[in-house]
Structure 1
Amino acid sequence: MKNGVVTHLASYVARKRGDVRDKESWALKDEQLALWEADRRVWSDEVPLNADLAASLPLIPVIDDRLVTATTDGHALYFDARFSATLDTASRRYLQAHLLWHCAFGYLLPDDPEHALWHLAWDHEINSLLLQQGYALPSSSVLFFAKVTRPANEVYDWLLTHPALEQELPTDRLWQECLTSPSSRHARRDADFRLGTVDRRLTESWRAHTRMLANDYRCTQHLPIPIAKRLRDL
């Protein structure tokens, strides 16, 4: 799962060397990148399964109005450095872990045009898992208490009759939502924000990778039994 890691990071370094026009932007991006990388080092001891998942996903800080918060295309994790700077440590670690598990579950490519519903269902299942890993979820996180621990496909069916979906707003963005260019000609666009190809081969590759890691951590304190059971069904 490490294909493309060197390419993404080399591109980031090369652009930084070649573009010195906006020193404040580069300083902010470097500052926030260091924090996200430090969070991964914490996981090496506290949540090693997440650290192993993260090893396949380079971190790319950007300043781009198409993104606003953070997203993943299964090849890298992209986050807007301006948004990241508003987060406290717990919220930042939660967001990175949330994006990791989008990849781990293969939750990158919606099964039908109702991608907004799938995003809510996916976020619910991922956040239920993060609770079991001990994360404190931000108050804005998507979580339906009537369906805690239920899989995304079941939650999706339930959401079809939900009376107030407009109140549910995911923090992260699906990669498809970042393809539309901002209408303003003054909008910020970052050359490092380059989404890759997302297809079934990629999502299946991630699921296979996650099953392998789950088997490695089976019967250890780092893989709670409910999570282990769910990953067997990937």
Structure 2
Amino acid sequence: MSKGVVTPLASYIARKKVNTEDKHLQALKDEQLALWVADRAHWRDSCPMNADLADSLTLVPVTDDRVATATTDGRCIYFDARFSATLNAEHRRYLQAHLLWHCAFGYLLPNTQGHALWHLAWDHEINSLLLQQGYALPTSAVLFFAKVTRPAREVYDWLLTHPALEQELPTDRLWQECHTSLSSRSSCHDLDFELGTVNRQLTESWRSHTRMLANDYRCTQHLPAPIAERLRGL
């Protein structure tokens, strides 16, 4: 989790494979990657803790139907360039920040039972945090106003009796969901989409890294007191 080992752009270029995808898709991937990298530079002044979290994640644009929107395995953020091109800057920055905080909280490896509910509960807590950081959430973002600021475990228990869960759809995808996505002969698969394995050691490493960063930013304007208090419990 050390900062500044490689830049996301350089790391992606180093691992990019030679393939036969058409020049239009490659140009789209390069264009969208530049925007996601620029968003990280934007955070250096506006939200430096998010910029520090982002340093540990390589950005990888793909055109892959298994991703559909965006996902992370705790090492990379994979985002579908076609989907990214439909987003405005505000929504794109929100999505990257949302994935950063999945890693920061260690919210990557749900229990086999009820993983869809855990995803909703995690998304709610992360989106509550982003609100406190000043992000404008898209209308599609998962947020339960009755449980704003409440931790994911409490929200999960509350969701067990939620009467209309079918109306709640996360924008991002968990890495597990990408692995189990149904595919067909017509599905688009990208050679750059190489999800790693998520395990408890990785999630604990992320929590430890987040605690360290929280200590660095504690008592500054860049870490609101409610967020600092929540991170004490990581």
Q: TM-score if structure 1 supplies the norm length? A: 0.94
Root-mean-square deviation (CA), in Å? Answer: 1.9
Match of 2:108 in 1: 108
Match of 1:45 in 2: 45
Q: Equivalences for 1:1-234 in 2 at 5 Å?
A: 1-2=1-2, 12-13=12-13, 18-19=18-19, 21-234=21-234
User: What is the CA-CA distance between 1:197 and the residue it aligns to?
Assistant: 1.3
Instruction: Give me the whole-angstrom Cα distance separating, in 2, the residues matched to 1:15 and 1:52.
Output: 22
User: What one-letter code is carried by the residue in structure 2 that aligns with 1:54?
Assistant: A
Instruction: Give me the whole-angstrom Cα distance separating, in 1, the residues matched to 2:38 and 2:84.
Output: 14
Instruction: Give me the whole-angstrom Cα distance separating, in 1, the residues matched to 2:12 and 2:22.
Output: 15
Q: 1:180 to 1:9 in 2, by over 3 A?
A: farther
Instruction: Give me the whole-angstrom Cα distance separating, in 2, the residues matched to 1:115 and 1:189.
Output: 25
**Structure 1: runs of 5+ lacking an equivalent:** none
145-154 vs 106-115, greater mean Cα deviation: 106-115
User: What is the CA-CA distance between 1:16 and the residue it aligns to?
Assistant: 5.1
User: What is the CA-CA distance between 1:128 and the residue it aligns to?
Assistant: 0.1
User: What one-letter code is carried by the residue in structure 2 that aligns with 1:208?
Assistant: S
Instruction: Give me the whole-angstrom Cα distance separating, in 1, the residues matched to 2:137 and 2:233.
Output: 25
Q: TM-score if structure 2 supplies the norm length? A: 0.94
Instruction: Give me the whole-angstrom Cα distance separating, in 2, the residues matched to 1:47 and 1:15.
Output: 29
Instruction: Give me the whole-angstrom Cα distance separating, in 2, the residues matched to 1:193 and 1:21.
Output: 14
Q: 1:17 to 1:190 in 2, by over 3 A?
A: closer
| Number of matched pairs | 233
User: What is the CA-CA distance between 1:14 and the residue it aligns to?
Assistant: 5.0
